[in-house]
Chains A and B, each alone.
Chain A
Amino acid sequence: MPERVTSLERPADQFNEEMLIRRVRDGEHELFYDLIRPYERRVYAAALAILRNEADAEDVAQEAVLKAFKHIRQFRAESRFSTWLIQITVNEARMRRRKAHANIMEPIADRQDEEGNYTPRDFADWREIPSEERNEVRQRLAEALAELGQIYREVFVLRDMQHLSIEETAKALGISTASVKTRLLRARLMLRDLLAPGLGGAWSMTGK
């Protein structure tokens, strides 16, 4: 069965969502639960990736959703609701982080010249991802992500975890698309180095 489209411009999904938003604005507040339900996990994930702390992440996720509800009338249909929601989440997370970590030093990665090229450190063969317990994998990925400098982590979370486009990522973070690409390259290569087996990183090679 092919995907249905309600018009040449918009998929059925988006059309239904626009209806939902309109109705929430017009006073059917309960529909907001339906509106945000598909995004709850992503909002939490974005907050967690930036704050690296579950309690804070849940707080911020709630704050972000609440904010979205309170400001629903300010949402403009030109952007996607999901992008707007994640943008709010990123801002809330950053504000929380600024308050809590005013004096903590940023990891070295942030202090490097952003324009400099990043040289991968490890060249071990890594054709297969080793299979492990779900929680262990998640834990290691979270640890590696936490080691990135803030500016790299934010770009990576939006682009490679939330699957935003380059343009949407740039818009959500208030930076240029060129910066998104530069930071993304660095984030991806650094994570690879952090997780690569050859350097005794997060995984040991299974059977090799």
Chain B
Amino acid sequence: MVVSCEEVWREISNYLDGEVEPTLRVAIQEHIRGCKRCTAVLDGTRNVLQLYGDERMLEVPLGFSQRLHQRLGENMPGNRRSFLGWMVAAAAACLVVGSFEVARSSAFRGPQLRSEHAQPGTGVPPDMMVVVSEGGKLFHAAGCPFIHKKTKLRMITAAEASRQGYSPCVRCMKKYLVATAS
């Protein structure tokens, strides 16, 4: 199967989401390998996802949490016990959150796998964009209910996730892993 540049551009979004069927995916991969324009489109689109998908980018105005909790407090049925509670929370929320790197994700942990029960994701499309969390051990498809919501999420390629020691979530990555089960 051979694809044209136009077809690649039409499918590039699905490709990055791991949503194209295997024959087409291979055809796209082959085409990109030999095409500078489409390589540029792929790289650029992937960069867009990495940049915007990084929750360390999310910033709230100073005092946001405080004001929010104050507003909530005004609307809570006759209840002032939480004053200390929200002040502590507000103080924590105002702390500057770590350093931010655009070109490389922080804390490269080396290739050792983080989870004892890891399975190398050989069936997972390497270019597929996946979600990882700081301190987590797995990489997920966006929207997987098993993503740790409470830590900061970012988007990287599956290949990069593997390199950083993340393992595929057996639930949302199931369809890729089944193909390579021994």
Chain A residues within CB distance 8 Å of chain B:
1-3, 10-11, 13-14, 29-30, 32-33, 37-42, 44-45, 54, 58, 61-62, 65-66, 69-70, 80, 82, 117-120, 122-132, 134, 137-138, 141, 145, 156, 159-161, 163-168, 181, 184-185, 188-189, 191-192, 195-196
CB of B41 within 8 A of CB of A120, answer yes
Interface membership of B60, Cβ < 8 A: yes
CB of A40 within 8 A of CB of B49, answer no
Residues on the B chain within 8 Å of A126, using CB: 40, 43-44, 47
From B6, B75, B89, give the contact of A37 (CB < 8 A): B89
CB of A66 within 8 A of CB of B49, answer no
CB of A195 within 8 A of CB of B153, answer no
Interface membership of B93, Cβ < 8 A: yes
B92 smallest CB distance to A (angstroms): 9
Chain B 147-170 interface 0/1 with A at a Cβ cutoff of 8 Å (1 = within): 111100101000000000000000
CB of A166 within 8 A of CB of B86, answer no
From B48, B67, B131, B138, give the contact of A191 (CB < 8 A): B48
Chain B 65-87 interface 0/1 with A at a Cβ cutoff of 8 Å (1 = within): 10111011001110101100110
A18 smallest CB distance to B (angstroms): 12
Interface membership of B145, Cβ < 8 A: yes
Residues on the B chain within 8 Å of A189, using CB: 9, 12-13, 41, 45
| Tally of chain B residues near chain A (CB < 8 A) | 69
CB-CB under 8 A for A166 and B143, given A33-B89, A184-B13: yes
Interface membership of B103, Cβ < 8 A: yes
Interface membership of B10, Cβ < 8 A: yes
Q: What CA separation (Å) do A27 and B82 show in the bound complex?
A: 14
Q: What CA separation (Å) do A127 and B39 show in the bound complex?
A: 9
Q: Give 20 A-B contacts (CB < 8 Å), ordered by A residue.
A: A2-B115, A3-B136, A11-B146, A29-B79, A32-B76, A40-B68, A120-B41, A122-B44, A123-B40, A126-B47, A129-B51, A130-B103, A131-B103, A166-B17, A185-B13, A189-B13, A192-B45, A192-B47, A192-B48, A195-B47
CB of B43 within 8 A of CB of A13, answer no
A109 smallest CB distance to B (angstroms): 16
